[in-house]
Amino acid sequence: MTHHDLDKKKNEGFQLSEELLAALEKFKKIELEDFQMDVKDLEIIFEGGAAGQIMPKMKLPGLAGGKPTSLLQVPFVPPVQKYSNSITTVKLGATKSEGGTRGKTLTIGGELSPAFYSFEQPMPHKPVVTLDVFDMEVPLSKAVKMHVKDVVGDPAAWAKLAVEKFGADMVTIHLISIDPLLKNAPPKEAVKTVEKVMQAVDVPLVIGGCGDPVKDADMFEAVCEAFPGERFLISSITADMDVERCAKFIKKSGNAVLSFTPMDLNLARELNRHLYDYLPREDIVMDLTTAALGYGLDYAFTNMERARIGGLLGDLELAHPMSSGTTNAWAAREAWLKMSAEWEPRELRGPLWEVTTAVTLLLAGVDMFMMMHPAAVKTLKDVINYLTSGKKADPSKFLDWVKVKA
């Protein structure tokens, strides 16, 4: 086989004629008219900078002369959805005419749509804030202690400060002195403390325990027997307690219960089903556990949002108002630890940590917030008031991003 035959063999399938190839080799450039090429796979490689010369400069219709000068005027219709169920309402506190001693009552729950979907349904009841008060001296971060240092150890004075100065809707009295590992105080001492707080403030109360399932049950029973009809929120009943016993004395005294479970909706459903054997749905508030910013807040949000959407879609075991132990934000070291300069001052960082946790879970549908720092409380209440005010944004204040210069 000659060299010419070999070259011909190599070029088999190549549709360009020898004359065309010779012209390309000589002039380095050719122009083709009415040209058609049939190929299976075609790869074209341009030298650097050549693409801009080869591809024509394209102009979009309507953009002659450069950047757009206005936004398209397109009507927007919110995607309204109707839900098959509503969230149960729970009333807290009882006035004299209702058999209690409180100056007002609060109602939470009752939502017909997700949180602040005002284009679907207005929020029937504003979320409320309850401030934490302890019946004995406890370690507090500097950012919190500076506001309550004069009343720590005096729960009645602390409660009065929380309501009159800090604007608390409710007060949570944590009766931790009954803890066997602390003072191991008897239930009757807890009853005396509750009575002092009741005399100091007239807002609805949350009765908190120490976390010991036996001591808490004994203390809750003593408080319920001493103050029937007050419509306290008993905080909390957990699966490791004697649920039947606790539910029976709560119902007998006309109080409500906080059903507390870790971040597992199946466990929440299970505990609520157990409570249904003894209590009406209107007596149950859920606490699905609050993880603070930086310590699982995203998971807490997802868990609570799933519960709220599930309740609205007909999962009756999750269709309860939700409470958040937002004070857990202070368990994050970053909320109070002394850090480098860009993280200071911690007196501001701490309440920011708490309110960021609160606002995040507000958007998930939380109805009641247990909090500590007065600045965090005020900020959260300002956000709630704004979102429930019915005011519409002023379009003239919107950022005109079309005209913004980089």
* pLDDT score recorded for residue 163: 98
pLDDT digits (tens, 9 = 90+) for 81-134: 999 999 999 999 999 999 999 999 999 999 999 999 999 999 999 999 999 999
* pLDDT score recorded for residue 247: 98
Q: Collect all residues with Cβ–Cβ distance below 8 Å to 122 and sequence separation of at least 6.
A: 390
pLDDT digits (tens, 9 = 90+) for 39-75: 777 777 666 665 555 555 555 555 556 667 777 788 8
* pLDDT score recorded for residue 204: 98
Low-confidence ranges of the chain (pLDDT < 70): 1-16, 20, 27-30, 32, 45-67, 405-406
| C-alpha pair distances (Å), 180 with each of 133, 184, 209, 285 | 20, 4, 12, 27
Q: Collect all residues with Cβ–Cβ distance below 8 Å to 354 and sequence separation of at least 6.
A: 326, 327, 329, 330, 335, 371, 372, 373, 376
Report the CATH architecture of 90-387.
Alpha-Beta Barrel (3.20)
* pLDDT score recorded for residue 6: 47
- Average predicted confidence (pLDDT) for the chain: 89
* pLDDT score recorded for residue 277: 98
